[in-house]
A and B are shown apart, each in its own frame.
Chain A
């Protein structure tokens, strides 16, 4: 078995090496071709947590569209859902001559070292969509790009805000289900145990619930954002709790599995589902009345804003920021959406 393991590790290592070489040679081709472009065009590196998440596919579309408008060239890197991949990717961007780097970290701390090293090379870094757990720059003014203190700013939305919005939507659902201020039981189904997005959304939601003593979370479980697992987890929760008022979903994709379980158990009339995401499918289920509401997240706006902000930093323009928990922040609007507000929020993914 040991020999098998070491063979496997060796083969894997070789594979990764080969893949890495492939990427590097490919991107160096790209950079040489872009070298002849006008001096106005910036080269920006963006690393995202994983392109297996549909969110980041739409995020990429939004970012590319904005980059085309602004004459920016984007180098993409896929974090492959692994905390240790994104630091090296940032270093690679530096080697490739990126003038600015946008990090969408899949871990709150793993890329901090690389982000700080970019300072030494005078390359500004901003975070987008997910923040890093570190001190952000105090200077977001015109000189931010000259002697950058990374990360300079965070763009997009924050997970605590997302959680708080979902919490408020739960309160609204409770008011409709049992009447405002009356005791309301909630089963909270979450994403991935231990992941930063799940933890921070949880915090935001808990803050809202703390102000609403009528809301009682009677159970919670994790479905790993996987509709198939969500179906099973929800079936078990429905068996464990013969009656409750509101069921939360960690995203619209997993929610479809939860909805299936609710319909199979014939409980769709006795509880309301509050989801999160604002996908085509999620919003259409809200429209059909099968889901009470969802949080509308705009990946295309999110990606576009990140590129726009990076260009503003590079051009030395003042950023309009607000500060959340000490982090300078350029926000993209998000919203809790029920059937009544659907027309204002077309899906972006």
Chain B
């Protein structure tokens, strides 16, 4: 993978132009699916409650918020960036929506997601125009936004929300929650954008070789900024899902979500330096994190050990994928 010329990859988001079944990327994705499959089988056999419709629906509902954040993170990371501010943006948007809720649903939701998008615009502007390192910019924004959420909510959770808010959390379409539907819509949307739009191809090119992209006539600054806006806006949307799920908005919600989202993206095979990655991989990564979380409780693993086991499985899964990748690509 690494020795492909960036220029050659400009027009092909998936690396090799015609992925055969045995291509390294296919194998890599399959390795992850295999691990996820094995986990699912083990849990189904060893606990009576894992493979019940209620538990699976819970699990998907739990994955929804991180999943939506991770889809946005995938966009930024494919473009070669990084966004640590998303966890704080989840809280900001939730708090803004809750505070603006009395003004009506449409106004409140628009305000929350707009606030989030502005954060993305600032992130993207500083990174692409002022050329500050994304790690530094988004780390700083993380603290700023967390502080602002506390300021506008006076440090308290906002609850006693109007009745339209309840619909987001409680009302389901059949047995499927609103959160799950949102996750599916966002995943399909970002997938189509990355794979089938001109802008999607631009992002892969940008992540592979920024200079070459610029020389090829791409407005790299604008493309990059837009990626951060998408990431932040999706984090804002995730804040709406979260607030709906618990019918309140907490200014300290979403702490550590940035790392969980990055974990899902990396497990899903997106390259850390950018230029390669898929939404399907990210979705699998998010599902894997959710299955592990859920499964460890069902198995009765002692709480202190859960983190140890979780980390080990993540490293093993990514390690296996990397091994497969090397084996297939050599």
Residues of A at the B interface (CB closer than 8 Å) are: 4-5, 7-8, 11-12, 15, 51-54, 57, 193, 219-222, 226-228, 231-233, 235-237, 239-240, 242, 253, 256-257, 260, 264-265, 281
Given A239-B52, A242-B49, A57 and B254 contact (CB-CB distance below 8 Å): no
Interface presence of B189 (CB below 8 A): no
User: Is A232 in contact with B293, judged by CB distance below 8 angstroms?
Assistant: yes
> Which of B47, B136, B304 has the most chain A CB atoms closer than 10 A to its own CB?
B136
0/1 interface trace, chain B 291-304, chain A, CB 8 Å (1 if under)? 00110011010011
Q: Is B252 within 8 A of A239, CB to CB?
A: no
The residue that A57 contacts in the complex, of B50, B61, B156, B304, with Cβ under 8 A, is B156
Binds A, one of B117-125, B200-208, B241-249: B241-249
Inside 8 A of A54's CB, which chain B residues have their CB? 155-157
Write out, one digit per residue, whether chain B residues 63-76 have a CB within 8 A of any chain A CB (1) or not (0): 00100000000000
Complex A-B: 21 CB contacts under 8 Å: A5-B135, A7-B135, A8-B139, A11-B136, A193-B303, A221-B303, A227-B246, A228-B65, A228-B245, A228-B246, A228-B253, A231-B62, A235-B61, A235-B62, A236-B298, A239-B58, A253-B157, A256-B247, A257-B246, A260-B245, A264-B170
Contacts of A4 in B (CB 8 A): 133, 135-136
Tell me how far the C-beta of A239 lies from the nearest C-beta in chain B, rounded to whole angstroms. Answer: 5
Which residue of chain B lies nearest to A241 when distances are taken between CB atoms in the complex? B49
* Max count, chain B CB within 10 A of own CB: residue among A8, A51, A222: A8
B295 — nearest CB in chain A belongs to which residue?
A236
Given known contacts A52-B150, A235-B58, A239-B55, A8 and B297 CB-to-CB distance under 8 angstroms: no
With A227-B246, A228-B250 known to touch, is A220 a contact of B62 (CB < 8 Å)? no
Selected from B54, B140, B169, B253, the residue in CB contact (under 8 A) with A260 is B169
Contact B246 A260 (CB under 8 A): yes
Which chain A residues lie closer than 8 Å to B170 at the CB level? 264
The distance in angstroms between the C-alpha atoms of A53 and B150, with both chains bound, is 10
Question: Nearest Cβ distance between residue A219 and chain B, in whole angstroms?
Answer: 7
User: What's the Cα separation between A260 and B169 when bound, in Å?
Assistant: 9
Q: What residues of B have a CB within 8 angstroms of the CB of A228 in the complex?
A: 65, 242, 245-246, 250, 253-254
B172 to chain A, nearest CB (A): 9
Q: Which residues of B contact A256 (CB under 8 A)?
A: 159, 246-248
Complex: A207 Cα to B61 Cα, angstroms: 38
Q: What 1/0 flags go to B134-166 for Cβ under 8 Å of A?
A: 011001100000000010001111010000000
> CB-CB < 8 A to A227: which residues of B?
157, 246, 248, 250, 253
A52-B251, A260-B245 known; A236 vs B303 contact (CB < 8 Å)? no
